[in-house]
Amino acid sequence: MVHEFREFINRGNFVDLAVGFVMGVAVTGVVTAIVERLIMPLVAVLVGQPNFDSVGQFACGAEGCAGSVGAVLTALVNFLLIALVLFAIVKAYNRLQRSDPAEPEPEADPEEVVLLREIRDALSRPPTP
pLDDT in tens, 90-122: 888 888 877 756 666 667 778 888 888 888 888
Domain-by-domain residue ranges, the chain?
2-104
Cα(119)–Cα(128) distance, integer angstroms: 16
Q: Among residues 41, 70, 36, which one has the least CA distance to residue 53? A: 70
Query: Which tens digits make up the pLDDT trace of 38-96?
Result: 888 888 888 787 777 777 666 666 666 666 777 788 888 888 888 888 888 888 888 88
CATH architecture of 2-104: Orthogonal Bundle (1.10)
* 78 Cβ neighbours under 8 A, 6+ residues apart: 35, 40
